[in-house]
Amino acid sequence: MTDNPTNTLKEVDGPRRDFLLISTTTLGVAGVAIAAWPFIHSINPAKDVLALASTEVDLSAVEVGQAITVMWRGKPVFIRHRTEEEIASAADVDMAELRDPQTDAERVQKPEWLIAVGVCTHLGCIPSGQNLGDKRGDWGGWFCPCHGSAYDTSGRIRKGPAPFNLPVPPYAFTDDTNIVIG
């Protein structure tokens, strides 16, 4: 046996002290993680916001020459089933004439379908041209009545104060007649 009782206590208490330190630290870290989880989870988008992230559209009822408007992320999206004449006129444009040069092929996945966000790039107005009787401007696309911006059948700015083409949202054809926007 040892003559000094404090040495014996140090030898016995060392592993016990280590165990208590590790246990307390582990429980403390777990407690902080559990307490922080609601705060971290509150940063995630709400379910109604996630529902607006993509929109599915059935194009089977849209006739050639007809246009429809759907909502995506709170913005109107213009979908036009273009005629052969509209496709040809959109493809036959001198890029030097355009303020925001983009070929028609860069703006569409299938030539017969144009899909663009229907918000004028000048001040955010909604251009007319979706309905048959609407004013469409000199290029047969869309016309913004607020300040006179005119877009062609590919949604490219041709006249007026708008600085950019109508934006093309991310979209994909799931089959021949259905698309997912977003």
DSSP-derived secondary structure letter, 128: B
Cα atoms in the 13 Å half-sphere on the side-chain side of 62: 25
Using alpha carbons, list the distances in angstroms from residue 168 to 116, 124, 164. Answer: 4, 15, 11
| 3-class SS string, 150-172 | EEECCCCEEECCCCCCCCCCCEE
CA 93/CA 168 separation, integer angstroms: 19
147 has catalytic annotation: yes
Using alpha carbons, list the distances in angstroms from residue 114 to 46, 84, 87, 101, 147. Answer: 31, 13, 10, 17, 24
Using alpha carbons, list the distances in angstroms from residue 6 to 21, 95, 122. Answer: 21, 91, 84
Q: Which of 41, 81, 122, 147 is catalytic?
A: 147
Find tokens 């273009």 and name the residue. 82
Catalytic residues: 147
